[in-house]
Every structure is written in C-alpha cells, then in structure tokens.
Amino acid sequence: MGPLAGIKVLELAGIGPGPLCCMLLSDMGAEVVRVDRIEPSGLGVEKLPKFDLLGRGRRSVAIDLRKKEGAQTVLRLVERADGLVEGFRPGVTERLGIGPADCLARNPRLVYGRMTGWGQEGPLAHAAGHDINYISLVGALHSVGRAGEAPVPPLNLVGDYGGGGIYLAFGVVCALLEASKSGRGQVVDAAMVDGAASLMTMFYALRAMGIWTDRRGENLLDTGAHFYEVYETADGNYISVGAIEEKFYAELLRLTGLEGISLPAQMDRVKWPEMKETLASVFKRKTRDEWCAILEGTDACFAPVLSMEEAPRHPHNVARGTFVEVDGIIQPGPAPRFSRTQEEVQGPPPKPGQHTDEVLAEWGFRPEEIRTLHASGVVK
C-alpha cells in the first residue's frame, strides 16, 4: 500500500542508523529482507527479537557471510533487489566479496546504500566511533547545553538517527528515483558526520549573520531566551514554551498574567536571565495540568513535557495515531503520512533467520539448492 510498494531492499544486519533506515523504507511499503548472521551477534536481539522495534516490518534470512558460498548467496539475492543497505566499516563488504563492485556487476540497477560514522574516506574513515563523536566534530554537541555547563548529548538522535538513518533513507530513495530514469544504480555514501553537519546549516547561517555565538545557553534556541525554555511546575513536572514571534509572545504574557506589567523588551538579551526568573516563578504557581488547561491549544506555543509513558496517551497523539500497537508493544507509527499510498507497519520484528527458506524460494533458489545451503551450514 505504501509509496515504496514493489521495491525490494536487502539489509545486511547492523545496529542503529542502518536498521532505522530500513524501518522507514519498510513502513513506506518496501519489501525489506534482512541478512542476519548464522551465529548470535551479541546484541541481545536474538533472545528478545520482538523488542527490536527498529527491525519491524521485514523478513530475515540467516547467511554465513564468512563463507564464499554465503557471499554468492547474497549476490544471487542482489540480482533481484532494487537496493542494498550495509553499515560495516569501509572495506569490509569488499573483503567479503559483496562490495559495490561485486553487487553492481550482478545488478547494474542496484542502489548500494552505505552507512558509516566518518564516511568511506578521510583521515578518520577507519576509526571506531559513535554518535557522540560524530556530532562533536561538526559543532553540534558543543552547541547543546546550558550556559556555564558542559555540553549535553541529545540522546543519539542527531548523529545516529537524524544525520545517519534518515539521510541514508533519503539518499536511497533519491538514488532509486534516479535509477528509474537512467536505468543505472550507484553507491550512496551516507556518513553520520556529514548528516549531522547538514542538520546544523541554519545555525551556521545564524552565526555568519552575527546573531548566534559559540557560547551555548545564551542564544535564541539553546535555552538562552526566556521565551524558548523549559520550566518546572508546582507538582515537579515540566512544561515547554517556544513563543518566538512577537504575537505569540504577547499571547504567552497575556495567559500567564504578565500582560500590562512593565517588562523589558522581548529581544533585550541582557534582560533574558531576569525574565527567565520571572517566568520560572510564574510557572511554579500551578501544576502542569493546570497550565495545560490555560495554555494548551493556544498560540502561546506551549506543550507539556511528557514522558515516554505519558506520550502515547496524549489526546493529540491518540487522534492522529502517532503511536501504534504491534504485537502487544506500543511504538511510534510510520511517518510521514500519504493521502493515497497509505503507509503502515508491515509486521513485528522477525527472529534472525525466521524466513530463510521462503525468501530464498521466492527470490529464485530451487529446493535442492536450499537443501545444499543448509547442509553446508551456509544458511540457517
């Protein structure tokens, strides 16, 4: 049903951004087949696969990529695929015999998506790293945090997922669109360091304009401004306000009872700390629910700060179906939405190797070939 229905993608099992990319492709209707290891990966998903939510909506085959016959099996599958996604360090798939040259020789229309932290080349290309390292190198981590305090890692949303998995999915879909016109595949080099830098574009623009500084916690969107901040309420919960525009700020003042009081100008940065104390005192007078009754749904740019336990139950999220239940587990649903080719979660995460025989059969392997692969330990 989704806009990518009919697209076939092979996913070489990995962690983090690669699985997110393939979850997004699957949610949009692509048929994703994950190539898992024969032996347990050590990540724990084999024991509790139903909780591997990034692995939802695809089928799994287990292939021993260390064996020559395993690589040949993957290349046979490549012949019928539109795309392949892998997240190994540079050069690993080449050594296994399933690198871009090997795969494109079998299928010249193939889109070969590569997910790395540092990219396929450069001084750091072969170094180990994680999200926190990639966002450090592009100015993103330095910019997140409060004044006078250490930088705060924003979970692993900016590097792994925002700059990694989502950019890889975007790149794969772009290359698929181009291949539909040219008949030629290509390699998509998606690096988390590049994607995280791309996400910082607006802030580099603001800095060039002289209205953003490298002193974190003193700028418009980094908790420097009193009208773009998180405040504690009387019951120990928190609310957020983001009343940047003048008319929205006026509404915030009106609804909090500050309208008509002699206050500094909204953009008087020298007075921001003082105004932050004023608003903090005001919000401390009522509970979060009481402030929701006053501010939610207005143009004051307000929202309660909800936990993951609370978020799926919020009326707005319920009305939009933002969260869905699959196999008894509440989880975020597919995004974005389409008016005609409806997106959906295609099913729960598979057990590694759960669909080996049926996928091989559907993708062109004869029964005797499948039996031979089992007997030799190439598949499981």
Q: Is residue 116 domain-shared with residue 259, that is, in the same domain? A: no
Q: Is residue 329 domain-shared with residue 300, that is, in the same domain? A: no
Q: Is residue 29 part of a domain?
A: yes
Q: Is 36 one of the annotated active-site residues of the chain?
A: no
Report angle CA 233, 235, 241 to the nearest 5 degrees. 20
From edge to edge, which strands make up the β-sheet containing 111-116? 59-62, 31-36, 8-12, 83-86, 111-116, 186-191
Q: Is residue 103 domain-shared with residue 173, that is, in the same domain? A: yes
Q: Is residue 77 part of a domain?
A: yes
For residue 338, give every residue at least 6 positions away whose Cβ sits within 8 Å of its Cβ, in sequence order, or none.
2, 3
How many folded domains does the chain comprise?
2
- Selecting among 130, 299, 314, 357, the annotated active-site residue is 130
Q: Is 130 one of the annotated active-site residues of the chain?
A: yes
Q: Is residue 165 part of a domain?
A: yes
Domain containing 299 — which CATH number? 3.30.1540.10
Residue 72: domain span: 8-199+324-375
Are 111 and 176 a contacting pair, CB within 8 Å? yes
Q: Is residue 108 domain-shared with residue 75, that is, in the same domain? A: yes
Are 7 and 177 a contacting pair, CB within 8 Å? no
Q: Is residue 45 domain-shared with residue 115, that is, in the same domain? A: yes
Residue 42: how many other CB atoms lie within 10 Å: 8
Q: Is residue 78 part of a domain?
A: yes
How do residues 346-367 score in pLDDT, each as one tens digit? Answer: 999 999 999 999 999 999 999 9
For residue 299, give every residue at least 6 positions away whose Cβ sits within 8 Å of its Cβ, in sequence order, or none.
247, 248, 251
Q: Is residue 159 domain-shared with residue 18, that is, in the same domain? A: yes
Q: Is residue 279 part of a domain?
A: yes
Domain containing 60 — which CATH number? 3.40.50.10540
How do residues 271-283 score in pLDDT, each as one tens digit? Answer: 999 999 999 999 9
Are 145 and 222 a contacting pair, CB within 8 Å? yes
Q: Is residue 139 part of a domain?
A: yes
- N-to-C CA span, the chain: 31
Q: Is residue 15 part of a domain?
A: yes
- Selecting among 160, 189, 194, 222, the annotated active-site residue is 160
**Which pLDDT belongs to residue 46?**
63
Q: Is residue 299 part of a domain?
A: yes
Averaged over successive runs of 10 residues, the pLDDT of the chain (380 residues) comes to: 96 96 98 93 69 96 97 98 98 98 98 98 97 98 97 97 98 98 98 98 98 96 98 98 98 96 96 97 98 98 98 98 97 97 96 96 97 97
**Which pLDDT belongs to residue 49?**
86
